[in-house]
Amino acid sequence: MTDENIESKLRTLREAYRNKLEIELENIGELLVKLETHACDTSSLNELSSKLHRMSGNAGTFGFDQLGRESRRLKEQVDHILMHQSPSDGSLEKNKVVEQLNQAFAQDLIRNNTTSVESESTDSDAAPCIWLVERDPMLATYVGQQLNSFGYKIEYFSNAEQLNLASEQNSDKTNPSLLLIDHRANSGSELAHDPVIFWRTKLESFTCPIIFMGAEESLEVRLTAVRVGALNYFVKPLDVPRIAAAITGILKRANDEPERVLIVEDDSAFATDCRMILEQSGMKVRWVSQTVDFLQAVIEFSPEVVLMGLHLPNAQGTEMVKILGQFEHWSEIPIVYTSAKSDDQLKTLAMLEGGDACLFKPVSPDLLISACQRRVELFRKLQQAVIRDGLTGLMKHAAIKNALTAEREYATRNRHTFSVIMLDIDHFKRVNDTYGHATGDLVIASLGTLLRQHFRQTDKLGRYGGEEFTLVLPNCTEKKAFQLAESLSKAFAAIQFCAVGENFSCTLSAGVIDNEQYPGHTADELLAEADRMLYQAKQAGRNKVCAAGD
């Protein structure tokens, strides 16, 4: 699809929504006329609240931010009247309300300061499939087309019944990778009466991750999302790049490596039972019975949680934890103490000595699994916060350099090939200067999401600084890395951003090398060679990929 077609499609959707808004504003005016003669007409007030509710959620997604805010403010007034069953104080006078909404609408048309992305659809069978449940077909199409930009296939459903019917008919086909659901995407009293039971019933056949969205921002709706099992809740107007980043992160975590548990325990029967329980739940487990083997096991296994016996041969478990704390990069590993004695004083002592929990034998299998899983989850989040860039979710500068050093050392010992790619966004300063830093951040975040979509779980992806990125690809030749960089370049160039009323796209330039061409180079020298290739791509006119072997 050409850029002209993409831009035309984007304009068409916005124009269609604008026309729809004009009709909605007329309908609101008609309801207000009814309320001038019957101020407490519950039916008209409920219908007015519903229309303002939909407008407050959807308008901002299409870039009508002022109208979205104004309709939300007016909905609160209507809801107040409904709650207290008291006539309006004049604040819902027809001419006044219509004027306020039209003024907000006019300001949006003038400013049109939307920020979004748009690209051609993805038809690849390998692309993750998102099932989107949204009442408004125009909004569903608009959001879906933006998610296409990040490599997702989208299937649309307007309500829960359609979703369940598709699930039944799709029983022999690929299930969705994720559900993105408007939590109000159904009519009738069942949903209104108990949304938790309603959605649990409708979603009980799905095992994939779930994200809820809606126009409300309240503890109640977030609790509903949590109780149904949703992993996130996004408030309308929707920030689609942020949703895409969340989806990518959720799907990546679903493919995470198993949790690594190190058991340090001289009770062989207990250790064997723990190992079997944890391995059956999908974790990787190593057991050492002698304290002398402890540090070597930590070095080789790199555990994410340690089950530490309180009483060990030749040492106390608390003493081994203190030794672990002498090494900065191991000091944050979670410790779960185990003991045959159920003693509150002993438990308190263990917790004061660096423990995160204390389990007493015999341990419930569910408790053991939960204790390990939860602590690994928190440990990984802590590690992510330390090494991950907040905007893109990729490794920070120091972390990607360390990853390159480690990969080079491993490749030297094991004689395997890896590639390094340096890339950056062309004319990025122009984006910031023209559209502002918020839009610049959107462009960077979008590329970060695209990188995580296009590369493997084992690849090391980092934001080297500003708009520059570094990729370290194990078991990858320069030729393959060059193909991957070109594919990424095309996908990024296809994204259409929109800001201050203009559509624009960005390109990237990249330099590619592999270690076979520079067998004696250090990590810093390899980076310098990849950067030299990037400079060649820039010199050749940008929007190019250059490789050392060309």
CATH number of 271's domain: 3.40.50.2300
Contact assessment for residue 545 and residue 492, using Cβ atoms and an 8 Å cutoff? no
Q: Specify whether 414 is located in the same domain as 538.
A: yes
Q: Which two tokens stand for residue 477?
A: 């030749």
- Confidence band, pLDDT 50/70/90 cuts, at residue 228: very high
Higher pLDDT, 193 or 276: 276
User: Is 114 a residue whose pLDDT tops 70?
Assistant: no
Q: Specify whether 409 is located in the same domain as 516.
A: yes
Q: What is the mean pLDDT of residues 241-268?
A: 83
Q: What is the mean pLDDT of residues 57-67?
A: 71
Residue after which a domain boundary falls, among 231, 254, 277? 254
User: Is 46 a residue whose pLDDT tops 70?
Assistant: yes
Q: Outline where 415-539 has alpha helix (H).
A: 428-435, 437-454, 478-494, 523-539
Helix axes 240-254, 137-148, angle to 10 degrees: 60
User: Is 319 a residue whose pLDDT tops 60?
Assistant: yes
Residue 55 lies in a domain: yes
User: Is 62 a residue whose pLDDT tops 80?
Assistant: no
- Compute the distance between CA of residue 341 and CA of residue 358 in angstroms, rounded to an integer: 11
Q: Specify whether 225 is located in the same domain as 279.
A: no
Element (H, E) at 422: strand 418-425
Q: Specify whether 299 is located in the same domain as 438.
A: no
Q: Specify whether 492 is located in the same domain as 412.
A: yes
Q: Please give the pLDDT value at position 113.
A: 41
Q: Specify whether 541 is located in the same domain as 401.
A: yes
Q: Please give the pLDDT value at position 3.
A: 45
User: Is 126 a residue whose pLDDT tops 70?
Assistant: no
Higher pLDDT, 468 or 377: 468
Q: Specify whether 281 is located in the same domain as 367.
A: yes
Q: Please give the pLDDT value at position 123.
A: 45
The percent of residues in the chain predicted with pLDDT above 70, rounded, is: 87
Q: Specify whether 368 is located in the same domain as 279.
A: yes
- Compute the distance between CA of residue 183 and CA of residue 134 in angstroms, rounded to an integer: 9
Q: Please give the pLDDT value at position 23.
A: 81
Higher pLDDT, 164 or 233: 233
Higher pLDDT, 9 or 463: 463
Q: Say which range, 35-49, 106-120, 249-263, has the weakest mean pLDDT.
A: 106-120
CATH number at residue 57: 1.20.120.160
Q: Specify whether 542 is located in the same domain as 402.
A: yes
Q: What is the mean pLDDT of residues 46-63?
A: 77
Cis amide prior to 237 (ω within 30 degrees) = yes
Cis amide prior to 87 (ω within 30 degrees) = no
Q: Please give the pLDDT value at position 191.
A: 82
Contact assessment for residue 502 and residue 443, using Cβ atoms and an 8 Å cutoff? no
Residue after which a domain boundary falls, among 93, 111, 129? 111
Q: Please give the pLDDT value at position 457.
A: 80
Q: Please give the pLDDT value at position 405.
A: 92
Number of H helices, E strands in the chain: 20, 20
Residue 333 lies in a domain: yes
Q: Specify whether 135 is located in the same domain as 41.
A: no
The percent of residues in the chain predicted with pLDDT above 90, rounded, is: 33
- Confidence band, pLDDT 50/70/90 cuts, at residue 72: confident
Q: Specify whether 22 is located in the same domain as 78.
A: yes
Number of other residues whose CB lies within 10 A of the CB of residue 155: 14
Q: What is the mean pLDDT of residues 119-139?
A: 72
Residue 391 lies in a domain: no
Q: Which two tokens stand for residue 474?
A: 């194990």
User: Is 263 a residue whose pLDDT tops 90?
Assistant: yes
Higher pLDDT, 78 or 99: 78
The SS3 call for residue 176 is: coil
Residue 460 lies in a domain: yes
B/e letters for 207-241, b = 16+ CB within 10 Å, e = fewer, are ebbbbbbbbbeeeebbebbeebebbbbbbbbbbbb
Q: What is the mean pLDDT of residues 291-295?
A: 90
- Confidence band, pLDDT 50/70/90 cuts, at residue 523: very high
CATH number at residue 501: 3.30.70.270
Residue 519 lies in a domain: yes
Q: What is the mean pLDDT of residues 454-462?
A: 88
Higher pLDDT, 242 or 521: 521
B/e letters for 13-29, b = 16+ CB within 10 Å, e = fewer, are bbeebeebbeebbeebe
Q: Which two tokens stand for residue 476?
A: 């990858």
Number of structural domains found in the chain: 4
Contact assessment for residue 426 and residue 506, using Cβ atoms and an 8 Å cutoff? yes
Domain span holding position 429: 397-547
- Confidence band, pLDDT 50/70/90 cuts, at residue 254: low
Q: Specify whether 274 is located in the same domain as 367.
A: yes
Higher pLDDT, 510 or 248: 510
Residue 307 lies in a domain: yes
Q: Say which range, 15-19, 141-145, 197-201, 289-293, has the weakest mean pLDDT.
A: 15-19
User: Is 156 a residue whose pLDDT tops 70?
Assistant: yes
Residue 392 lies in a domain: no
- Compute the distance between CA of residue 65 and CA of residue 112 in angstroms, rounded to an integer: 9
Q: What is the pLDDT of residues 328-375, one digit of tens each?
A: 778 889 999 988 876 666 667 667 777 788 888 888 999 999 999 999
Q: What value does the mean pLDDT of the chain take?
A: 83
Residue 166 lies in a domain: yes
Residue after which a domain boundary falls, among 363, 386, 409? 386
Element (H, E) at 468: strand 468-474
